[in-house]
Amino acid sequence: MTEVKDTAAHFVAAFNSHDERALLALHADNIKFEAPGGFKGHTAQEATGYAKNWLTAYPNGKMIVRNEIVSAPWVVQEVVMEGTNSGPFESPTGTVQPTHKKINSKGIQVLKIENGKITETRIYFDMLETMTQLGLVPTPATV
């Protein structure tokens, strides 16, 4: 159980320090990776690329773990992604140019960790809420 918890903590630390090499080393070569927008990755490079896309779009981006449940080999983390969108973001519909707006996006990540490597990742977050925070979706009119 300690190895699983430690590996998850190393992932968050690597993400927060924007350490692409450490992220790549933590992802299993044949990872199963899913995220909103229909993203599916099957290699360590694809999973790391997903994280890199966020870190490019949010150079000051940080992931804060609010709650964590560990039941080896699984880790479930309630996270908050904070940062200012000052870089381009590659989305399923194309490149989103920087909005220079801050986000505070809540989500869940489910990690399966085996032998010190992340073998499965599922990420869930409210993409509409994140896009609204970025000013990409008009806010509803109030009466």
Is 138 contained in some domain? no
User: Which residue, among 51, 43, 136, has the nearest Cα to 95 in the 3D structure?
Assistant: 136
Residue 121 lies in a domain: yes
d(CA 85, CA 108): 20
Position 139 in a domain = no
Residue 141 lies in a domain: no
Q: Which residue has the higher pLDDT, 21 or 143?
A: 21
Could you tell me if residue 39 is inside a domain? yes
- The CATH number linked to 104 is 3.10.450.50
Q: How far is residue 45 from each of residues 26, 65, 105, measured CA to CA in Å? A: 11, 24, 24
Would residue 24 count as lying in a domain? yes
140 domain residue, yes or no = no
Number of domains into which the chain is organized: 1
- Predicted confidence (pLDDT) per residue in 73-92, tens digit: 999 999 999 999 999 998 87
Other beta carbons within 10 Å of 62: 15
Q: pLDDT at position 1, please?
A: 62
Average pLDDT, the chain: 95
**Residue 77 · residue 106 · CB < 8 Å:** no
Structure pTM? 0.92
d(CA 110, CA 31): 13
Each residue's pLDDT tens digit, 11-54: 999 999 999 999 999 999 999 999 998 999 999 999 999 999 99
What's the pLDDT at 143?
72
58 domain-assigned: yes
Domain that holds residue 127: 2-133
